[in-house]
Amino acid sequence: MQRADGTVPWVDEQISTADLFGPPRAPRTAAAGSKPCRAAQLTAVLTGWKRPSYGGEKPRGFDTAIGHLIGEVDIGNTSASECTLRGEVPIRMIAGGREVPMLYTHGINDEARRRLTVVPAGGHASLRLDWSGPFCQPLEGALELAIELPDHGGTLRGPITATDTPGCARGEGVNPNARATLSASGFSEPAEPAPPQDSPLGGTTVALSGPDTAAPGTRLPASARVPSSGVSSESGFGSGAGS
């Protein structure tokens, strides 16, 4: 609410994904006559691994030792026809034409097993992989995935261009019988935020002003102004260090 002097107080509320990007996009709906995808009409590639977030906490002990990577396989439909993917996805990693020896799993819950992922012509789907250590063997030759498509769709082969691997942990605190594991989830639509909602503040800029320096622990008076609207706001910010 705008005050009598024209300022607007800051509101200490967390912004949501919907505030930034609008409501989530509705799932795709299969067209009449859509058929299960076949390997010949799809491509697959995994371009990068990322390490999981621990909510700001530094991983310790076993989590640090064995290593854990998460990858999203990009599935592309290169055909002129829509197709669908559903169910569990057995998968293998291949290096130099040979299967990489480790434990492979692909169990999913009933909800994921029922989920139908529509892949339009020229469109994409996603497949999450979780790769955990200890992984200690060298990888020789080109690295690729062999994905068994549901509904007898055949084997889809696709390259892995990322070079990361989980850690090779041995010694105290690590089960000597632990094995590297590659787990596949079910197919899903790629994460694409919905277009942002229209806002009366679209295209505006904000100018923030305050003191140039402050002692540690000082609460700083500051003001912000939206030049295009003439609205200003005043508040204070805590300073954790001098500047």
Amino acid making up residue 193: P
Write out pLDDT tens, residues 231-243: 555 555 554 444 4
Residues 91, 194: Cα–Cα separation, whole Å: 31
Write out pLDDT tens, residues 68-94: 999 999 999 999 999 999 988 999 999
Residues 126, 131: Cα–Cα separation, whole Å: 16
How large is the C-alpha radius of gyration of the chain? 25
* 117 DSSP β-pair partners: 85
Higher pLDDT, 172 or 58: 172
* 132 DSSP β-pair partners: 68, 181
Domains of the chain with CATH codes: 35-188 (2.60.40), 207-238 (no CATH)
pLDDT of residue 222: 60
pLDDT of residue 17: 64
Place of tokens 């140039």: 212
pLDDT at 226 over 70: no
**Peptide bond just before 134 cis, omega within 30 deg:** yes
pLDDT of residue 243: 43
pLDDT of residue 173: 58
Please, is 80 exposed, middle or buried when counting C-beta atoms within 10 Å of its C-beta (0-12, 13-18, 19+)?
exposed
pLDDT of residue 241: 46
pLDDT at 113 over 70: yes
pLDDT of residue 158: 97
Residues 169, 180: Cα–Cα separation, whole Å: 10
Tokens describing residue 112: 């994921």
Are the C-beta atoms of 183 and 71 separated by less than 8 Å?
A: no
Under the banding of pLDDT at 50, 70 and 90, the label for residue 26 is confident
Average pLDDT for the chain: 80
**Angle at alpha carbon of residue 28, lines to 22 and 32, rounded to 5°:** 150
Measure Cα distances from 145 to 68, 73, 211, 242 in Å.
18, 9, 56, 52
Residues 103, 135: Cα–Cα separation, whole Å: 11
Are the C-beta atoms of 125 and 147 separated by less than 8 Å?
A: no
pLDDT at 105 over 90: yes
Are the C-beta atoms of 182 and 95 separated by less than 8 Å?
A: no
